[in-house]
Structure 1
Amino acid sequence: MTAVTRQRFIAGLVLAGLTLAAAPALAQSGPRIGAPAPAFSALDVDGRTRSLPEFAGKTVILEWTNHDCPYVRKHYNSGTMQSLQRDMTKEGIVWLSVVSSPPGEQGYVTAAQAKGLTASRNAAPSDLLLDPKGTMGRAYRAQTTPHLYIIDGKGTLVYAGAIDDKPSASAASLNGAKSYVRQAVAEMKAGKPISEATTKAYGCAIKLAPLN
């Protein structure tokens, strides 16, 4: 190995080391289980600004959604999502559906269209937030629709991931599916640590608006 080649080899190792060292820091910049949930401020379908601090003391569930996504349709056409929303809100949990699709991308809706969808699907979220600029989506690093997050009454993120353990768009996959959300809430109520606090979300990729 010549001196020049050796120098290039060493430089490559140093560069690789710096890249690997930076990876954990980047990972920690996003939402982390056991840490305060990212703050958010978004308009709902009635034009009101909703933010995380107003729900202090209450458990909050965030559901990223896209009505055109077949994975989302599986849960809404079957009534699974609506049942989950109703059961959670009956327990005093705040359920916020979030649409981060920008204009021109699959799933984008105006406030009026979002209201119409909620009514036609007999959905039952506490509110529906519109995030066309992707600010909230980026803060939570929402990847797919659906993508679910649970925040406890202290504002701590306690769950992030899939709605269940069946990553399929087929309605048949609902048979025997384990609801990660129901499991997490039940464990919270029992004062137990959440056994599966992070899972791999599945569904349609969220295409956020480009940063200006």
Structure 2
Amino acid sequence: MSRCRLFSLFLAAASFPLLAITPGGQAPDFKGTDSNGVIHTLSQYRGKYVVLEWANRGCPYDQKHYLSGNMEALQKQWTDKGVVWLSVLSSAPGEQGNVTPTEENEYLKKMKAAPTAALLDPEGNIARLYQAKTTPHMFVINPQGKLIYQGAIDDKPTTDQADIKTAHNYLNDALNASMSGKPVPVASTRPYGCSVKYKD
């Protein structure tokens, strides 16, 4: 088994409860510094939708969505509509996916990624607040600060880029429904991907 320590769809909940935090409840506030040295808090974005995307560029599941351009397209699609998109990198020092601010900025530029910001969380403080399990692991927070979705980006837990075309995208469902004043059809799913590389 590689350092990626892949989680299967069925084993993703082995180390954590199925629900990190309960959809419909208040999302925990956090404070994090991005790759440009700017501090962000959830509370500063009250009144806006916020997406949290746990990322690890060394993870093949994460690569599936970035190398295909899928994640970048989603970032642009939703930030263009006023959504705050925060990529969170919680790999501990010495672990796969841990990067310096410069390395992250170079990667974002290379991939033409378009998050609002990339938060560096090597101590895992933000990840533990949300009990983030995998990369990717998606969270959607509404303008009132309530969690409306947590879980997988879609229903194809593979590393195959070709699966993206036929995947059902839970993130899009949550944002489209909520912005239309409708209930989110699926508020929680099991995330899939590589385990978050927490600091011991």
Instruction: Provide the C-alpha distance between the structure 2 equivalents of 1:189 and 1:49, rounded to a whole number of angstroms.
Output: 27
- Please list the CA deviations of residues 57-107 of structure 1 after superposition, one character each: whole Å capped at 9, or x if unmatched: 000000000000000111011100000000000110000000000111111
- Please list the CA deviations of residues 109-168 of structure 1 after superposition, one character each: whole Å capped at 9, or x if unmatched: 010000000000000000010000000000000000000000000000110001011000
Runs of 5+ consecutive residues of structure 2 not aligned to the other structure:
1-15
Instruction: Provide the C-alpha distance between the structure 1 equivalents of 2:109 and 2:130, rounded to a whole number of angstroms.
Output: 27
Greater fraction helix? 1
Compute the displacement of 1:27 (Å). Answer: 5.5
> What residue is the counterpart of 1:125 in the other structure?
115
Residue 167 (str. 1) matches residue 166 (str. 2): no
> What residue is the counterpart of 2:63 in the other structure?
73
Report runs of 4+ in structure 1 exceeding 6 Å deviation: none
Residue 90 (str. 1) matches residue 106 (str. 2): no
8 Å Cα contact 2:20/2:132 also seen in 1: no
What amino acid is aligned across from residue 52 of structure 1 in structure 2? L
Pair member with larger Rg: 1
Instruction: Provide the C-alpha distance between the structure 2 equivalents of 1:30 and 1:79, rounded to a whole number of angstroms.
Output: 28
Compute the displacement of 1:28 (Å). Answer: 10
Residue 158 (str. 1) matches residue 158 (str. 2): no
8 Å Cα contact 2:19/2:188 also seen in 1: no
Task: Give the length in aligned residue pairs.
Answer: 185
8 Å Cα contact 2:18/2:190 also seen in 1: no
- The TM-score with structure 2 as length reference comes to 0.89
What amino acid is aligned across from residue 128 of structure 2 in structure 1? R
Instruction: Provide the C-alpha distance between the structure 2 equivalents of 1:198 and 1:31, rounded to a whole number of angstroms.
Output: 10
Compute the displacement of 1:29 (Å). Answer: 9.8
Compute the displacement of 1:47 (Å). Answer: 1.2
Residue 143 (str. 1) matches residue 133 (str. 2): yes
SS in 1 for 2:73: helix
Counterpart of 2:178 (choices 178, 181, 188) is 188
What amino acid is aligned across from residue 40 of structure 1 in structure 2? F
- Please list the CA deviations of residues 29-73 of structure 1 after superposition, one character each: whole Å capped at 9, or x if unmatched: 952111110111011111121101110100000000000000011
SS in 2 for 1:98: strand
Compute the displacement of 1:207 (Å). Answer: 1.9
Instruction: Provide the C-alpha distance between the structure 2 equivalents of 1:29 and 1:196, rounded to a whole number of angstroms.
Output: 13
Counterpart of 1:177 (choices 152, 155, 167) is 167
SS in 2 for 1:136: helix
Counterpart of 1:201 (choices 183, 191, 194) is 191
Matched residues, percent identical?
43
Aligned-pair RMSD on alpha carbons? 1.5
